[in-house]
A and B are shown apart, each in its own frame.
Chain A
Amino acid sequence: MAKAAKGDSRAFALIYDRYAGKMNWYFLRMLGKDAEKARDFTQDLFVKLAEKPHLFDTGKKFSTWIYAVAHNMCKNEYRKQSIRHHVPGDDIGVEHKVSDKHAKDPAMEVDKSTFEKMLEIELNLLDENHRTAFLLRYKEEMSIKEIAEIMGSSEGTVKSRLFYTVKKLSEKLKAFEYN
């Protein structure tokens, strides 16, 4: 990124190739699977980078920095639209009824796609801070320290958030485990 900040187009293109897909996925997950919005956010992020590459702080690891920017974009979006509890697709209440039914009916076949669907629902029900920490840890495999930097929180807070998120998700999803 330091090269890109000095005007190196190839370096900037490399950054795009390396991070555009990841950012798109992150926004997709953080913004309730709204593909159009995720695309717009990804483009906005890279346009910001293109226009003001000097804003990159070389004292930071680039991946940490770009996720911090993305995290702030999402926070601003949450403030604007209060999408925290938005669940795409079917009505959440209906989904939970299905969930109960699955849980009470061991004979019902639970496949991978059901697990994915329920994971999506449960992730969207999480507070954005818990969701961010969870995604960065289990998708990007970032360290606790990196996640803390991105979120502007202490490492202890991140550890605690992760622990309770995994615990909560496993409770919610245990009925949908598949082989």
Chain B
Amino acid sequence: MNPDIEKIEHLLMAKSFNELSSAERELVLAHLSGASEYEHMRATISRVKTVFSAEAAGISPELDMKEAVLNRFEQNKPANTGILSKISSFFETLFPNPGVRFAGSIGLVIVLVITGIAFWPKNEEHVAYMKLPEMNEQTDKTKDSEVQQNQVEISTITPSKPDLILSEIAEEDILADQTEAESGAFAEDEAVEKNYPAEVPAAASESVPVYRNDDGYYQYSNTRTADADFKRNEVSDAVKVYDKKASPAGASKTKPAKKEEVAAPAPGKVELGSGIAQESSMGELKRIPVWPGMENETSEAYRGTLRKLEQYFKEELVSIQNKGNASYIYLKLELNFNTKGEVIKAKAKSEYITSETLQKIEKKAMLLPAFRFTSQSGDISTSQVYLLRIL
């Protein structure tokens, strides 16, 4: 039984049992024993509200507490300078709606990546060509002279390079690696891992506890959430998502997602099909989309995330050239932030996957947009970003 409390509640607030219409009485009597119970519930709600209002009126914000938290706020004010901050503000002005801004951000990244791939040099040497001026038999001597001087014009064509992604990676050594790659060598799904240990201070070596539930879910949290709650939230999230969007797996509100479809992967082991849930709060674990609301991150966290994304994309754009028939890339970024919101460690992992694997993923989850899994361990918060980019 799942009574529509809102309807009954509305009646309880508005009408006595005697004032109910026959249809309303029918609804009420489907769930309550009779007029007496209805009137008791009516009285209870009314009195409870009175009690709560009186209680709350007697509680006012404490001034000393206010002073303390305001001082703390002043000490932790986010810096709001720098070019990325300005870019963020620009996007905020351009797209006031967070959803539109999110779509714009994702679209921009995709466009930049695709543009980078499309125009990136593929082993070809710089091309020289000869431009022959049109010969005109009617030309006078002066013109003939000019033609003679310009008869052979050699130009070098360099493929376009989008500034944001490729401007810093056209060094010779990277290009040399590219040319040494075996064409078509990639046949199986392959994992690649990269670390940035130089940026890691000692404190970042703390690890985030991970719990694996009996049914295969993973939790990233200092405090383990009860298995029952975890499952309920996960499934609830999946239903919410599928309620709003068509699922590649064909799930819907009446056919909820299976638990495998919303499972989070364990660190160090990328499990395809992760990162579907919209937003949930499981104990201290917060799982939220990467991009919406990023403008409200502390500017350092925002910059750091973008920097790492950029850096990783740059490297991947180069290395993907080595992967022959690899069609897709699945990225996982693990970013550690300190209490100031600065990125202190970034670990990136990617899997080059074939179209067959992609089909398996699509049956399980929607991987775009990416999701950020944030957990807290001491002073270190860790975000994991999952992206699937079609190259």
Choose from A21, A57, A160 the contact partner of B279 (Cβ within 8 Å). A57
B-chain residues with CB within 8 Å of residue A7 when the two chains form the complex: 77-78, 80
Please state if A2 and B296 are interface contacts (CB–CB under 8 Å).
Answer: yes
Please state if A9 and B70 are interface contacts (CB–CB under 8 Å).
Answer: yes
A-chain residues with CB within 8 Å of residue B223 when the two chains form the complex: 76, 79
Chain B interface category by residue count:
35 or more
B-chain residues with CB within 8 Å of residue A55 when the two chains form the complex: 286
Least CB distance, A102 to chain B, in whole angstroms = 15
Given the interface contacts A20-B61, A76-B284, does A170 sit within 8 Å of B43 by beta carbon?
Answer: yes
Q: How far is the CA of A18 from the CA of B314 in the complex (A)?
A: 47
A-chain residues with CB within 8 Å of residue B229 when the two chains form the complex: 152
Q: How far is the CA of A129 from the CA of B40 in the complex (A)?
A: 23
**Contact bitstring B288-332, A, C-beta under 8 A = 1, else 0:** 110011011110010000000000000000000000000000000
B-chain residues with CB within 8 Å of residue A84 when the two chains form the complex: none
Please state if B66 and A13 are interface contacts (CB–CB under 8 Å).
Answer: yes
- Identify whether the interface residues of A are mostly helix, strand, loop, or mixed: helix
Choose from B4, B41, B51, B59 the contact partner of A167 (Cβ within 8 Å). B41
B-chain residues with CB within 8 Å of residue A39 when the two chains form the complex: 62, 65
Given the interface contacts A43-B65, A171-B40, does A119 sit within 8 Å of B48 by beta carbon?
Answer: yes
Q: How far is the CA of A115 from the CA of B47 in the complex (A)?
A: 9
Choose from B5, B41, B74, B283 the contact partner of A170 (Cβ within 8 Å). B41
**Contact bitstring A110-138, B, C-beta under 8 A = 1, else 0:** 00000110010000000000000001001
Please state if A54 and B70 are interface contacts (CB–CB under 8 Å).
Answer: no
Please state if B73 and A54 are interface contacts (CB–CB under 8 Å).
Answer: no
Least CB distance, A155 to chain B, in whole angstroms = 9
- The number of inter-chain residue pairs (CB within 8 angstroms) is 173
**Contact bitstring A71-107, B, C-beta under 8 A = 1, else 0:** 0100110010000000000000000000000000000
Within 8 A of A (CB), among B214-245: 223, 226, 229, 232-233, 236, 239
Q: Taking the complex as formed, is B171 at the interface, i.e. its CB lies under 8 A from any CB of chain A?
A: no
- B285 nearest in chain A by CB position: A72
Please state if A152 and B281 are interface contacts (CB–CB under 8 Å).
Answer: yes
A-chain residues with CB within 8 Å of residue B49 when the two chains form the complex: 138-139
Choose from B37, B74, B78, B292 the contact partner of A59 (Cβ within 8 Å). B292
Q: Taking the complex as formed, is B356 at the interface, i.e. its CB lies under 8 A from any CB of chain A?
A: no
Q: How far is the CA of A169 from the CA of B44 in the complex (A)?
A: 7
Q: Taking the complex as formed, is B31 at the interface, i.e. its CB lies under 8 A from any CB of chain A?
A: yes
B-chain residues with CB within 8 Å of residue A72 when the two chains form the complex: 281, 283-284
- A6-B80, A174-B44 known; 16 other A-B pairs, CB under 8 Å? A20-B65, A22-B56, A28-B59, A43-B69, A49-B69, A53-B76, A59-B99, A72-B283, A76-B284, A119-B51, A135-B52, A144-B5, A152-B229, A159-B2, A160-B5, A177-B40
Q: What would 22 A/B residue contacts be, using CB atoms closer than 8 Å? A: A5-B78, A7-B77, A24-B62, A25-B56, A47-B68, A49-B73, A51-B72, A54-B297, A57-B293, A58-B293, A79-B226, A119-B51, A138-B49, A152-B282, A159-B6, A160-B3, A166-B9, A166-B41, A170-B44, A173-B44, A174-B40, A177-B47
